[in-house]
């Protein structure tokens, strides 16, 4: 892999890894296409938020490059919970759809946590259904939330050891912090989950070998929170008033202190998108195998 | 609450708390009985292991004292996965059964992790179904594994603060370590999950305010692993060759160092049993409400 270094801090870019995963997804799509199957990802949207639409279009473009069809189901910002539930149930049952994403934000009156339970686990390629999270926790096959998995893949890509290491995860969300803790435990890391009520962050981040920040607070992690050998993965996505995207890391103070930093943008983001496509390809393969099995059983 | 102290270390007995929770379950059972409902807990067993049968009988006796019927379904040590699956599906569908426990150990050929997924979440009073764990992780209503919840209840009972505190959980099992971490995070603790690959334990247990040991290794936690102000909860259950039960804590060396110690036996065990009964009563109430709702809806 190629790396850049800024003032002793290696820049852990997601570019090369994302392109490798994207290539993997494309290969899978080509094979399945030769077997007569067109992989399809459905993205359900119900917002007018511009940055969300920008993000969904970026998934669409990446899918196109990988030879995966992307079906955007836009119900508009006034969609009811019932309408969204109906769409998710239909897509879950629809054999030509292999992966489903319910894109946030959703209308204020809608309970997202109830809706994600309607995504059938085999198509839940962003690990949003609580059942997927529970299966991860007990070591059963399930798709992990792509962002959480992107962190682990990035650490592996840059050969940052995980087993036996002390990893501090800052943020306890169900989409990043908690599933990431489960994935890291599975890889034999010792994991500390910190959050807004943890008090001084350095108590947990200074002894850590790896710090992952996913709190959604601009400038949260500073160089003074870190020991010199620490590797930092920034998972924050904060949109500034001028529309630019920044992470949770105060890059100016962390650069020169941390041994490595995965920046925002340019870090886990593109890896996450590539993993969504790879998961969709894996889901398609599993569903096509299951269908073949059913067909051959019914012939007996 | 009454407490005993041994060489500066407060003994955090589960006795008083267990009896209070047991009383609560009994009150619930009495009220539901006056409404014509007899609360029933089903325990599915498939082993000849004597200590398991002893434990199941202790649940049965506790249930009896609380006015809860206990139905032991013993399929014997040669039970097939199919037979166990059939029983769990039947009990899940049976309206006169309100709570279900699948007791381990199970026959070697049986995949327990697949079977627990058959316990309908509303009757999963020991939080064994991965869906229950996933729901806990995302903050949806679910029964927590009783042992994990017993730890939190015991800390509350002895007024040990949780929010903002540093809690080290030793053990990453799906039945104790992981669900306990979720419950503690929900209560605003900072949680470190350590395990057999964590290296020297004191790195994580010395800075901790509370240490919970659930690793299943006799004598694992010693006084030298601790700082003086630490509260220790022992969740280990190890049966010695002479048949006696001991925890994971080396009590001799921890006593006098820790500020408090919940011992084995006499700590979380009886609280766990009491919580299983309370969960069964809560499950019965939820099911009876749901049935009333269905009945009144069908009358409209």
Write the DSSP assignment of A211-236 as a string of letters. EEE-S--TT-B-GGG--TT-EEEE--
Contact A134 B134 (CB under 8 A): yes
Give residue A299's pLDDT: 55
Instruction: Say yes or no: B90 contacts chain A, CB-CB below 8 A.
Output: no
Tokens 């708390």 locate to B17
pLDDT in tens, A70-109: 999 999 999 999 999 999 999 999 999 999 999 999 999 9
Topology (CATH level 3) of domain B36-121: Rossmann fold (3.40.50)
B103: pLDDT strictly greater than 70: yes
Least Cα separation, residue A241 to chain B (angstroms): 30
Give residue A296's pLDDT: 67
Topology (CATH level 3) of domain B146-269: Rossmann fold (3.40.50)
Kindly report, as residue ranges, where domains of CATH 3.40.50.10860 are found in chain A.
37-124
Contact B39, B29 (CB under 8 A): yes
pLDDT band at A225 (very low <50, low <70, confident <90, very high): very high
Kindly report, as residue ranges, where domains of CATH 3.40.50.720 are found in chain B.
146-269
Give residue B2's pLDDT: 52
Contact B181 A181 (CB under 8 A): yes
Give residue B8's pLDDT: 87
A242: pLDDT strictly greater than 60: yes
Mean pLDDT (whole number) for A225-233: 96
pLDDT in tens, B152-203: 999 999 999 999 999 999 999 999 999 999 999 999 999 999 999 999 999 9
Contact A163 B197 (CB under 8 A): yes
Least Cα separation, residue B27 to chain A (angstroms): 32
C-alpha dihedral, A225 to A228 to A230 to A231, nearest 10°:
110
Give residue A291's pLDDT: 79
| Chain A residue at shortest CA distance from B133 | A134
Give residue A3's pLDDT: 65
Q: What is the C-alpha end-to-end distance of chain A, expressed in Å?
A: 50
Give SS3 for A6: strand
Give residue B52's pLDDT: 92
Mean pLDDT of chain B: 95
Residues of A in contact with B207 (CB under 8 A): 203, 207
Least Cα separation, residue A4 to chain B (angstroms): 31
B1: pLDDT strictly greater than 70: no
B299: pLDDT strictly greater than 60: no
pLDDT band at B6 (very low <50, low <70, confident <90, very high): confident
Beta carbon pairs, A and B, within 8 Å:
103
Contact A174 B139 (CB under 8 A): yes
Lowest mean pLDDT among A243-252, A290-299, B100-109: A290-299
B:205-224 residues touching chain A, CB 8 A cutoff: 207
Which whole-number Å values give the CA distances from A189 to A201, B193, B216, B218, in the listed order?
A: 19, 9, 19, 23
Mean pLDDT (whole number) for A31-46: 97
Residues of B in contact with A129 (CB under 8 A): 134
| Chain B residue at shortest CA distance from A121 | B131
Helices (H) and strands (E) in chain B, counts: 10, 12
Contact B185 A166 (CB under 8 A): no
Contact A236, A246 (CB under 8 A): yes
Instruction: Say yes or no: B141 contacts chain A, CB-CB below 8 A.
Output: no
Give residue A2's pLDDT: 53
Strands B166-170 and B69-74: unpaired
Instruction: Say yes or no: B172 contacts chain A, CB-CB below 8 A.
Output: yes
φ, ψ of residue B233 to 5 degrees: the values are -115, 120
B295: pLDDT strictly greater than 90: no
The correct answer on CATH 1.10.240.10 for the domain covering A37-124 is no
φ, ψ of residue B41 to 5 degrees: the values are -110, 130
Rounded to whole angstroms, the Cα distance separating B170 from A274 reads: 35
This prediction's pTM = 0.95
Mean pLDDT (whole number) for A147-168: 98
Mean pLDDT of chain A: 95
B:177-206 residues touching chain A, CB 8 A cutoff: 178, 181-182, 185, 188, 190-195, 197-199, 203-204
Residues of B in contact with A215 (CB under 8 A): none
Give residue B298's pLDDT: 60
pLDDT in tens, A256-293: 999 999 999 999 999 999 999 999 999 999 998 887 77
Give residue B289's pLDDT: 84
Give residue B265's pLDDT: 96
Contact A163 B188 (CB under 8 A): no
A7: pLDDT strictly greater than 80: no
Residues of B in contact with A198 (CB under 8 A): 164, 190
Contact A45, A75 (CB under 8 A): yes
ipTM of the complex: 0.94
Contact B131, A130 (CB under 8 A): yes
pLDDT band at A148 (very low <50, low <70, confident <90, very high): very high
Least Cα separation, residue B192 to chain A (angstroms): 4
């Amino acid at each position: 892999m190629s790396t850049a270094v800024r003032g002793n801090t290696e820049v852990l870019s997601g570019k090369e890894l994302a392109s490798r995963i994207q290539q993997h997804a494309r290969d899978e799509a080509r094979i399945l296409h030769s077997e007569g199957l067109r992989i399809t990802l459905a993205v359900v949207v119900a917002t007018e938020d511009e940055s969300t639409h920008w993000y969904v279009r970026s998934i669409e473009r990446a899918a196109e490059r990988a030879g995966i069809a992307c079906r955007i189901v836009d119900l508009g910002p006034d969609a009811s919970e019932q309408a969204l539930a109906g769409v998710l149930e239909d897509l879950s049952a629809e054999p030509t759809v292999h992966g489903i994403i319910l894109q946030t934000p959703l209308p204020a009156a809608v309970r997202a946590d109830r809706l994600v339970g309607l995504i059938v686990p085999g198509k839940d390629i962003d690990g949003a259904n609580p059942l997927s999270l529970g299966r991860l926790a007990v070591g059963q096959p399930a798709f992990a939330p792509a962002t959480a998995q992107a962190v682990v893949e990035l650490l592996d890509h840059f050969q940052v050891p995980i087993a036996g290491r002390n990893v501090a995860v800052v943020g306890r969300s169900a989409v990043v912090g908690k599933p990431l803790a489960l994935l890291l435990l599975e890889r034999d890391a010792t994991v500390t989950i910190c959050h807004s009520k943890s008090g001084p962050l350095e108590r947990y981040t200074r002894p850590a070998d790896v710090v992952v920040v996913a709190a959604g607070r601009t400038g949260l992690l500073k160089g003074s929170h870190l020991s010199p050998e620490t590797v930092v993965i920034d998972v924050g996505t904060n949109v500034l008033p001028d529309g630019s995207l920044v992470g949770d890391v105060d890059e100016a103070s962390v650069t020169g202190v941390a041994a490595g930093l995965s920046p925002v943008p340019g870090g886990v983001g593109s890896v996450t998108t590539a993993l969504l496509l790879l998961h969709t390809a894996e889901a398609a393969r599993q569903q096509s195998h299951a269908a073949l099995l059913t067909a051959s059983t019914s012939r007996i």
